[in-house]
Amino acid sequence: MNHSHRLTIAAVAMAAVAWAPGAAMAAKNCETLVLGSAISLTGKYSTNGEHAKNGYEFAIKKINEAGGVKVGNKCYFLKVKYYDDESTPARGAQLAERLINQDKVQFMLGPYSSGLTKAIAPVTEKYRVPMVEAEGASRSLFNKGYRYLFAVLSTSEQYLASAITLAADVAKKNGKKPSDVRIAIAVENDPFSLDIRAGVLEDAAKYGMKVVVDDKLPRDLSDMTATLTKVKALKPDVLIVSGHSKGAATVTRQVGELKINVPMIAITHCEAADITGKFGKTAEGFLCSTQWAETLSYKDPLFGSASNYEKEFKAAFPQYKNKTVPYQTAQASAAVYVFKDAFERAGSFDREKVRDALAATDLMTFYGRIKFSKAGNNIAKPMVLRQVQNGKYVVVAPPEYASHKLVWPRKAM
């Protein structure tokens, strides 16, 4: 109850803020450009769908406040038409058709999750509608030759590969060979987590590291004791785990329960599972991969620095006041910003021209640099590793953007 009440207040506040400059701009006759998005507002992705939607809305508010998108001599306010895809791919594809055919939407923002993006991309491709997406990281999206799909985030095989590089660095520093490093991998058996595994295996092979445990956890499994008992017996140097929020929560709890003593543990979805809040000390020393962190030193003219983005976003959406702003939100905002940049460079709303402008994007943003490969994925932004130190997430890799030093080895609590 309380939650929805706060939401209403936020909505009213936002409307008020958006109204004031809007009224001033109306004199300048800004027209409205409608983008379309099918996004998960109900169903299993609803939490993250909401995060993404708020990211879109915040970027639109910032762009409209700054005078909208300028194309030719005219200015345009952005607006998004949303449909709820109920977290089901089939529904997402249907809604994309509806947005394009009935609502005559010319440009699309992506849905939440790789699965939904995979379902919608063929539709936007068929109608030649450019789509900038921020929440689909699976690398299978970028080997289909799509021309109209652009993604601002790093692809999934990069998620934990940086942990392998870090482990190699640590080994060198301690006078050991990187090839002495032994790795245990446990990932969920779904396309996204398997991509992460593939990236880790690739980098491990590069260094000649040995993989001693390589478990794929079935989707229905909420228990990792068998795998972790094996880890306990084999004593690897690195433990890599990825299995969405469930995997993060399960591994953190059971590492504590079984007192697993691995010097480096790298996982995904720490924030989504809130491992620091739920398990406190056990989470200490865990490495968490993230697309973005508010302490990074990126900035741009619209949002300012990453930390400024966080501050202003929290002011606009008070329901995030006591949380870290999720990267899902930041990358959604970045996607809208990429569209604005492309519209202005194209100087037109012709879909082909906008597509070519998108393909030529080379933009520094608060979220990191954005430059698309031929396949449409962002190749300019590295994945970030944060470590839990004293209950807080601090950036430890890549070293050039890091604010803190890696604590190694991790001590079992």
Partner 1 sequence: MSQIIGNINILIEAPVFNLSLLLDGLMIGAVFALSAYGLALVWGVMNVKNLAQGDFVIMGGYTAWVLAQNGIHPLFGVPVAFVLLWGIGWVIYVTVIRRVIDQDLFTSLLATFGLAIMFQQILNLFFGSDTQTADAGFPSIFLFDGQVSVPQVKLIAFVLAALLATAVILFMKRSRMGQAIRATAQDPRAARVLGINTDKVYAFTFSLNAAICGAAGALVAMIWVIQPFYGITYSIRAFVVVTAAGFGNLPGVIAAGLGMGVIEQFGGFILGATFQQALVVGLLLLVLIIRQIQQARVRQVVQ
Binding site for partner 1 (CB under 8 A): 42-47, 186, 189, 212-218, 220-227, 229-230, 232-234, 244-246, 249-250, 253, 256-259, 272-274, 278-279
Shortest CB 393 distance to partner 1, Å: 18
Nearer to partner 1, 36 or 136 (CB): 136
Nearer to partner 1, 81 or 216 (CB): 216
Nearer to partner 1, 231 or 296 (CB): 231
Shortest CB 7 distance to partner 1, Å: 13
Shortest CB 114 distance to partner 1, Å: 17
- CA distances for 357 relative to 107, 112, 161, 222, 334, angstroms: 13, 24, 31, 45, 16
The burial of 214, by beta-carbon neighbours within 10 Å (0-12 exposed, 13-18 middle, 19 or more buried), is given as middle
Shortest CB 164 distance to partner 1, Å: 19
The burial of 129, by beta-carbon neighbours within 10 Å (0-12 exposed, 13-18 middle, 19 or more buried), is given as buried
Shortest CB 241 distance to partner 1, Å: 11
Shortest CB 279 distance to partner 1, Å: 7
Nearer to partner 1, 180 or 257 (CB): 257
Nearer to partner 1, 186 or 383 (CB): 186
Shortest CB 113 distance to partner 1, Å: 12
Nearer to partner 1, 43 or 145 (CB): 43
In SS3 terms, the chain reads as CHHHHHHHHHHHHHHHHHHHHHHHHHCCCCEEEEEEEEECCCCCCHHHHHHHHHHHHHHHHHHHHCCCEEECCEEEEEEEEEEECCCCHHHHHHHHHHHHHCCCCCCEECCCCHHHHHHHHHHHHHCCCCEEECCCCCHHHHCCCCCCEEECCCCHHHCCHHHHHHHHHHHHHCCCCHHHCEEEEEEECCHHHHHHHHHHHHHHHHHCCEEEEEEEECCCCCCCHHHHHHHHHHCCCEEEEECHHHHHHHHHHHHHHHCCCCCEEEECCHHHHCHHHHHHHHHCCCEEEECCCCCCCCEECCCEEHHHHHHHHHHHCHHHCCCCCCHHHHHHHHHHHHHHHHHHHHCCCCHHHHHHHHHCCEEEECCEEEEECCCCEECCCCCEEEEEECCEEEEEECHHHCCCCCCCCCCCC
Shortest CB 244 distance to partner 1, Å: 8
Nearer to partner 1, 117 or 227 (CB): 227
Shortest CB 229 distance to partner 1, Å: 6
Nearer to partner 1, 212 or 379 (CB): 212
Shortest CB 413 distance to partner 1, Å: 10
Nearer to partner 1, 46 or 307 (CB): 46
Nearest to 364 by CA among 345, 381, 382: 381
Nearer to partner 1, 47 or 179 (CB): 47
